[in-house]
A and B are shown apart, each in its own frame.
Chain A
Amino acid sequence: MQYITPLTPAFAELFLLGMVCFILVADLFVSDENRVVTYALTQLALAGAFVITYITATGQPEYTFSGMFVDDLLSDVLKMLVYIGVMVMLVYSRPYVALRGMFRGEFFALVLFATLGMMVMISANHLLALYLGLELLSLSLYAMVALQRDSATATEAAMKYFVLGALASGMLLYGMSMLYGATGSLEITRLADTILSLGARDLVLVFALVFIVAGLGFKLGAVPFHMWVPDVYHGAPTAVTLFIGSAPKLAAFAFIMRLLVQGLGAEQLVVEWQQMLIVMAVLSLAIGNITAIAQTNLKRMLAYSTIGHMGFLLLGILSGDLVGYSAGMFYVVVYVLMNLGSFGMIMLLSRSGFEAENLEDFKGLNARDPWYAFIMLLLMFSMAGIPPTVGFYAKFAVLQAVVDAGFVWLAVVAVLFSLIGAFYYLRLVKLMYFDAPADSAPISPRSDVRLLLSANGLAMLVFGILPGPLMALCIHSIRASL
């Protein structure tokens, strides 16, 4: 057997790993005033990885590392989106992090390690690689949540995240070990073939599926495995919350695609996980949207809204066909954009010693700065799914896929809960436009933040009016890779 495998498909990963190690060492020689150098190097590493991924993309699935690693169009597109998400997150959080003493080399190193973990997950073709990528991502995230160690809430959040995350990993591993027992293989493509040849419904496989779906539910934050989401979103420093809520969701989508769709996508198993996902999706939509109404803390509210959005993502996946998967992918991309923008706004209004994380802090934003109020309005409209913003189109695409799959009642339920959800998004808009400002501090962000945040908000409108290209990209990459 040939072991010297071509390394070109994994070139971006190798480059990023090299850069992390370089940044870790180079950071030692940088004084605190010049920490910008580390920041610039980090951005450079991500930009470089973007270019490499773009150049090495061939459009055909390529396997390397004895079949552990796959480089197909889906992975290339998702990886490039991850780089963009992380770069935007770094720009938004730079002033916030600098004011809170977290502007250190370790922060950037952990961000890059987490990015590497996401890339490993996205390109995994082996259960071992999937699991190790997930752990690489999760461990970096746990550490980032705990980075502000003098804050009691951050430490508590990190502890909860760690314990529940470890439990979820355990479940996932248990499920994977049963899969191995039943099929004798860990490689996803070979796993799928074996399951197909097994034919009839197999109890051990179903048992493994239960554990795997439960583990995935934990990682996604879908009800009934959502307990950690509000506490972690609330307790973590906003920059880290932004990070947890953005790029990792893309990796989670890839994880589901690889494991459930590619690995366990045989006819007799799809029926099984469809039922489990239906339960999780309906519960997530219900609890996420209803509980969010009672929140006064914006970060908590967005956490519950995340749970609701994950319900929508599951709806797209459980449709079980290419249209549904593409709709799910479109939804995740849009969700990441919306999430980046809204947490970016929270950080924009925060300043030294003050966190603009309560709903009251957004009161009268229109009187203070009409432009940012407008951006936030676009973001909230998009989250609620009001046309002509892109959130409407994303929900529409998912619902269409659900109806096509024959679950009309599910679509009705989803629309009902989205209506309930619209209430708390619009309440924020009302606070911004019709209430008197409680806070009169001037908003004067750096120019790069201003530019990017404006672009982010306007993207809601642009993609809402012209969703075609992005949707075509999603459909194309899903079709080329499955």
Chain B
Amino acid sequence: MTFNGIIFYLFSAILLFAGLRVITARNPVHAALFLVLAFFTSAAIWMQLQAEFLAIVLVLVYVGAVMVLFLFVVMMLDINLARLRENFWSYLPVGAFVAIVLVAEMVLVLAGKYGGFAGVPAPPPLPPGYSNTKELGRLVYTEYVYAFEIAAVILLVAIVAAIAITLRRRKETKYQDPARQVSVRREDRMRLVKMRPEKKEQR
């Protein structure tokens, strides 16, 4: 086995372990941290494929931004774990059966022509000056510009939808309107009430 092979199997083993722990860890914070580990190891595997841009983006975007936000949410939500896990074991036989059938089918189909290393040759070695980032950028803005633009529109829809569904002008929310504060007059705030002096009741 080459050095590359050893590295690959090492990282793959860590990735599988981390992935398993994500769904079996009792503590949601631990699960999220294992997901971070899974992201890191996948980034390392990508690095082996000489896809350095994707690897760095994975770490920056998913680990740096998405997972941190996710951790915040997990910590703020008061998730009742005992209730979530109540029926875990009772679903296991059915779930395991379905999983085994699926895996068996996949193996039967893919073990033929497309499985194995013969179907997936190693990528050819790249010249030293080759820039992954430049190549991706070129493709995204030329050949795939249509898909890229539609993806941008989808993000715009997500923004519009999120705001349309959640933005709510509540009456009880206190917010300042400087224009109204400046133009306020005495009469708006204070009312002079004339009252007749009260007499002490005679007894």
User: CB within 8 Å of B: which residues of A?
Assistant: 1, 3, 17, 24, 65-66, 68-69, 104, 106-107, 109-110, 113, 116, 120, 126, 128-129, 132-133, 135-136, 139-140, 142-143, 146-147, 149, 181-182, 203-204, 207
> B146 touches which one: A69, A143, A146 (CB < 8 A)?
A69
In the complex, which residues of chain B have a beta carbon less than 8 angstroms from the beta carbon of A147?
Answer: 164-165
Given A69-B146, A135-B154, 18 additional A-B pairs, CB 8 A: A3-B142, A3-B143, A24-B160, A65-B146, A106-B161, A110-B164, A113-B160, A129-B150, A136-B150, A136-B157, A139-B161, A140-B161, A143-B161, A146-B165, A147-B165, A182-B114, A204-B113, A204-B114
In the complex, which residues of chain A have a beta carbon less than 8 angstroms from the beta carbon of B163?
Answer: 106
Bound complex: CA A136 to CA B151 (Å): 8
* 6 cross-chain pairs, A with B, having the tightest CB-CB distances, nearest first: A143-B161, A106-B164, A65-B146, A3-B142, A132-B150, A68-B146
Bound complex: CA A169 to CA B25 (Å): 28
Bound complex: CA A128 to CA B144 (Å): 9
Bound complex: CA A104 to CA B161 (Å): 12
Query: Which of B110, B146, B147, B160 has most A Cβ within 10 Å?
Result: B146
> A133 touches which one: B113, B142, B150 (CB < 8 A)?
B150
Query: Quick one: closest B residue to A147, CB to CB?
Result: B164
Secondary structure of the A contact surface, majority rule: helix
Q: Are B147 and A68 in contact (CB under 8 A)?
A: yes
Q: Give per-residue flags for B103-143: 1 if the beta carbon is below 8 A from chain A beta carbons, else 0.
A: 00000011011100000000000000000000000000011
Q: Are A203 and B153 in contact (CB under 8 A)?
A: no
In the complex, which residues of chain A have a beta carbon less than 8 angstroms from the beta carbon of B151?
Answer: 132
In the complex, which residues of chain B have a beta carbon less than 8 angstroms from the beta carbon of A143?
Answer: 157, 160-161, 164-165
In the complex, which residues of chain A have a beta carbon less than 8 angstroms from the beta carbon of B153?
Answer: 17, 113, 116, 136
Q: Are A136 and B154 in contact (CB under 8 A)?
A: yes
Task: Confirm or deny: B61 has a beta carbon within 8 angstroms of a beta carbon on chain A.
Answer: no
Q: Are A181 and B114 in contact (CB under 8 A)?
A: yes
Task: Confirm or deny: B145 has a beta carbon within 8 angstroms of a beta carbon on chain A.
Answer: yes
Task: Confirm or deny: B75 has a beta carbon within 8 angstroms of a beta carbon on chain A.
Answer: no
In the complex, which residues of chain A have a beta carbon less than 8 angstroms from the beta carbon of B10?
Answer: none
**What are 27 inter-chain pairs, A to B, with CB distance below 8 A?**
A3-B142, A24-B160, A66-B142, A68-B146, A68-B147, A106-B163, A106-B164, A110-B161, A110-B164, A113-B153, A113-B160, A129-B146, A129-B150, A132-B147, A132-B151, A133-B150, A135-B154, A136-B154, A139-B154, A139-B158, A143-B157, A143-B160, A143-B161, A143-B164, A203-B109, A203-B112, A203-B113
Q: Are B150 and A110 in contact (CB under 8 A)?
A: no
Given A136-B153, A140-B161: A126 and B147 interface contact (C-beta under 8 Å): yes
Bound complex: CA A69 to CA B154 (Å): 18
In the complex, which residues of chain B have a beta carbon less than 8 angstroms from the beta carbon of A142?
Answer: 161
In the complex, which residues of chain A have a beta carbon less than 8 angstroms from the beta carbon of B156?
Answer: 113
In the complex, which residues of chain A have a beta carbon less than 8 angstroms from the beta carbon of B150?
Answer: 120, 129, 132-133, 136
Q: What class of interface size applies to chain B in its complex with A?
A: 20 to 34
Query: Quick one: closest B residue to A65, CB to CB?
Result: B146
Bound complex: CA A119 to CA B154 (Å): 14
In the complex, what's the smallest C-beta–C-beta distance from B103 to chain A, in angstroms? Answer: 14
Instruction: Give B13-53 interface residues, CB cut-off 8 Å to A.
Output: none
In the complex, which residues of chain A have a beta carbon less than 8 angstroms from the beta carbon of B114?
Answer: 181-182, 204
Q: Are B154 and A207 in contact (CB under 8 A)?
A: no
In the complex, which residues of chain A have a beta carbon less than 8 angstroms from the beta carbon of B142?
Answer: 3, 66
Bound complex: CA A157 to CA B22 (Å): 30
In the complex, what's the smallest C-beta–C-beta distance from B85 to chain A, in angstroms? Answer: 21
Query: Which of B114, B143, B161 has most A Cβ within 10 Å?
Result: B161
In the complex, what's the smallest C-beta–C-beta distance from A115 to chain B, in angstroms? Answer: 12
Q: Are B165 and A110 in contact (CB under 8 A)?
A: no
In the complex, which residues of chain B have a beta carbon less than 8 angstroms from the beta carbon of A66?
Answer: 142-144, 146
Q: Are A110 and B160 in contact (CB under 8 A)?
A: yes
In the complex, which residues of chain A have a beta carbon less than 8 angstroms from the beta carbon of B110?
Answer: 204
In the complex, which residues of chain A have a beta carbon less than 8 angstroms from the beta carbon of B113?
Answer: 203-204
Bound complex: CA A226 to CA B153 (Å): 29
Bound complex: CA A106 to CA B163 (Å): 9
In the complex, which residues of chain B have a beta carbon less than 8 angstroms from the beta carbon of A135?
Answer: 154
Bound complex: CA A62 to CA B156 (Å): 28
Bound complex: CA A132 to CA B142 (Å): 17
Q: Are B146 and A140 in contact (CB under 8 A)?
A: no
Given A128-B144, A129-B150: A140 and B157 interface contact (C-beta under 8 Å): yes
Bound complex: CA A147 to CA B167 (Å): 11
Query: Quick one: closest A residue to B114, CB to CB?
Result: A204
Q: Are B154 and A132 in contact (CB under 8 A)?
A: yes
Given A147-B164, A147-B165, A204-B114: A113 and B157 interface contact (C-beta under 8 Å): yes
In the complex, which residues of chain B have a beta carbon less than 8 angstroms from the beta carbon of A109?
Answer: 160
In the complex, which residues of chain B have a beta carbon less than 8 angstroms from the beta carbon of A139?
Answer: 154, 157-158, 161
Bound complex: CA A435 to CA B161 (Å): 44
Query: Which of B114, B158, B163 has most A Cβ within 10 Å?
Result: B114
Bound complex: CA A327 to CA B147 (Å): 32
Q: Are A110 and B157 in contact (CB under 8 A)?
A: yes
In the complex, which residues of chain B have a beta carbon less than 8 angstroms from the beta carbon of A69?
Answer: 146
In the complex, which residues of chain B have a beta carbon less than 8 angstroms from the beta carbon of A182?
Answer: 114
Q: Are B160 and A204 in contact (CB under 8 A)?
A: no
In the complex, which residues of chain B have a beta carbon less than 8 angstroms from the beta carbon of A149?
Answer: 165
In the complex, what's the smallest C-beta–C-beta distance from B129 to chain A, in angstroms? Answer: 21
> A104 touches which one: B143, B144, B158, B164 (CB < 8 A)?
B164
Bound complex: CA A133 to CA B142 (Å): 19
In the complex, which residues of chain A have a beta carbon less than 8 angstroms from the beta carbon of B165?
Answer: 143, 146-147, 149
